[in-house]
Structure 1
Amino acid sequence: MRGRGPQEREEAEMQGRGPEEREGGAEMEGRGPEEREEAEMQGRGPEEREEVEMQGRGPEESEEAEMQGKGPKEREEAEMQGRGPEEREEEEMQGRGPEEREEAEMQGRGP
């Protein structure tokens, strides 16, 4: 009851002063080891990537850039327009790709 026994952890945890302070009120005040969450909200913690990603300036910029077709994942954007490394799929549709023999075979022009 007074918080002096071996179960003091639980009592202290309630008040946010025990060894389990992580789960206590420290997290609420943004001073505990979980400060990352509090800081993440303000966009100043180690998880800042997520906050910055929203603005398209962080290390995850590839996603933002992908939207504009300028990132390393540009192949997806290009694939849509038929200009990426997956172009063979686009060409296959038009009957000009390496699978042309299937298209030609249908029309009776294949080997």
Structure 2
Amino acid sequence: MVMLGDILAAARGSAGALERWLAHADPQLAQDTACAAKSVGLGIAGYARMAVADFSRFANEEDWATLVSSLRDSSDPGSTCLAAMVHWRLSAVGCRAHSIPQEAGAKDE
């Protein structure tokens, strides 16, 4: 069983391994992550680390409850946790200072 710390350590040491894992685990999430990462000048591993940091800082109680519930039912909590945090980051709506534009060329309102 792979734990979140193992996945993040692998991301630091081998971005390619993280990308291959994500492409295998959830191809659509991998594609969405690659697009979002590129839009902010990061690789997938950097984006994943940012997602974990942002989740820990900005996720609300409901987000945490959803994560904990999914971990409880998972046979692979590390991978489940990372995928959930990346998915959360992709869909998070927050203040302009901490948001990644959802569309290229998005304008401030």
Shorter-chain TM band: under 0.3
Q: Which has the higher helix share?
A: 2
Larger RCO: 1 or 2 (CA < 8 Å, sep 6+):
2
TM-score (norm 1): 0.21
